[in-house]
Amino acid sequence: MSLEVYRFLSSEVKAYLDSFETMTIWHLKDLASGSKRIIRSDNVKVLAIPQFEGLSIENLMAFANRYPEVMQALPPFNEIAKLSRAYIGNVIFSLVGEPFAKWV
């Protein structure tokens, strides 16, 4: 079931998603039902985030917590650890823009 939802969101809706292995069925269902915000792949802004100690997933999420629109696009915190840093960073950068790039 989750593979079908993933394929539907990525191919039909053109949603920006992390790899299938990292996306939980609950987050996919939230995106499909509209209870979480979808970012279309063609609207994604990519930002290379260096591997610095102060730029862990926890630090990225602390920054993101200031922006409700970002939290509306990401899964609950207990599902965040499975996601890649690149995906999380690109979601934040796509929705926040330059303030996030300057922070990084």
Q: What angle do CA 43, 68, 21 make, to 5 degrees?
A: 60
- Domain residues for the domain of 32 are 2-103
Measured in residues, the chain has a length of 104
How high is the mean pLDDT of the chain?
A: 94
Segment 41-61 shows an average pLDDT of 92
Taking residues 81-90, report their average pLDDT.
93
Q: What is the tally of structural domains in the chain? A: 1
- pLDDT at site 53: 82
Rounded to an integer, what distance in angstroms lies between the CA atom of residue 73 and that of residue 96? Answer: 12
- The pLDDT value recorded for residue 2 is 86
> Which of 29, 88, 22, 26 is closest to 61 using CA atoms?
88
